Amino acid sequence: MKRLVTGAGGFLGQAVVERLLALPNADLRCVVRSAAQAERLREKAAAHPGARLEVVTGNLLSRADVARAVDGIDVLYHLAASLKGSPADIFMNTVVASNNVLDALAGRPVTIVVVSSMGVYGTANLARGAVVDETTPLEPHPERRDVYSHAKWRQEKLFRDRCAHAGHRLIVIRPGVIYGPGGPPMSARVGLNLFGLFLHLGGGNRIPLTHVENCADAIVTVSENPDAVGHAFNVVDDDLPTSRAYLRRYRREVTRVRSVRIPYAGMLCVSRGVEWYHRHSRGQLPAVFTRYKTATLWKGTRFDNTKLKCIGWTPRVGTREGLTKSFAYLRAASKG
């Protein structure tokens, strides 16, 4: 069975590749952007002599590269997306790239595991502390969210619409905040750095963390289970820390952080002020905070992982242990 991983050079991509290489008779093709990423994957494959790894260095915006990548595959793990850049770039590299992949797969039904995001849920109008499971309606106003969430929402819709017609077996994965050694230090759900001062916005909210290895396990688990086809799955770990506890541990185990706590009600007021100023000044400063965005990030929504557990996934890395390793990595990195 030939498996293709897009975005294989990324933080999550590398972990997924590691898991797939460990499968019996692994036959893997990976798409990466650079020669350096390709080299890293080949080093990982060296530890799995029975596995077959083929690396395609290319760009999913190139139809020729995509055609080469999807040739003869049975399973697609679509992780490629853009986390930063201009809005146009994020859409190009997330949505248009996905469309190119689906075009190249036309007439050849395969199993597709697409990595979406929890940002696709419509959480702004839920009650504080509401629990989001896979039955929660998707975002009704993606254009009011940050560009990344908007692009992920459109990407997931694209897969749903096109896979239904093309006969692909689609499985959607919606991870929370992916963390682990080598990952980002702080989620926006905890807070934001503003000119050297950290605005602590999460307070007592549970941060929907998932360790990168647990998330990779989830992706591989659903792809191996026929019952998962046609379903979406939240991926969050158990025993999640509150934002406050996360920041406390970060301070203790990584580095000092000068922070100020802004409660949710206060953040709504700030957001209202930012929206007003954005309008009043004719866009002199961007509306980085809006009440809508604030509600989606810091209202205290919780995410449920029961459905994923029902098909056999359990978080292999406990949150306490995962954070210890992650913070140790960050501490070492901060010391250069």
Q: Which residues bind another protein (CB under 8 A)?
A: 33, 35, 59, 61-62, 85-89, 91-92, 95-96, 99, 142-143, 147, 150-151, 154, 158, 280-284
CA 54 to chain centre: 24
Nearer to another protein, 256 or 282 (CB): 282
Closer residue to another protein in complex, CB, 9/203 = 9
Q: Parallel, antiparallel, or unpaired: how do β-strands 197-200 and 191-194 relate?
A: antiparallel
* Cβ atoms of 155 and 116 closer than 8 Å: yes
Q: Is residue 2 classed as helix, strand or coil in its secondary structure?
A: strand
C-alpha pair distances (Å), 180 with each of 213, 221, 245, 246, 328: 8, 19, 17, 14, 10
Structure tokens at 36: 């350096």
Q: How far is the CB of 240 from another protein (least distance, A)?
A: 32
Unique residue bearing structure tokens 């039955």: 135
CB of 174 to another protein, least distance (A): 21
Q: Measured from the CB of residue 86, what is the shortest distance to another protein in angstroms?
A: 4
CB of 90 to another protein, least distance (A): 9
CA angle 164, 139, 291 (to 5 degrees): 165
Least distance between another protein and beta carbon 15 (Å) = 22
* Residue 106 CB coordination number (10 Å): 11
DSSP structural state of residue 227: G
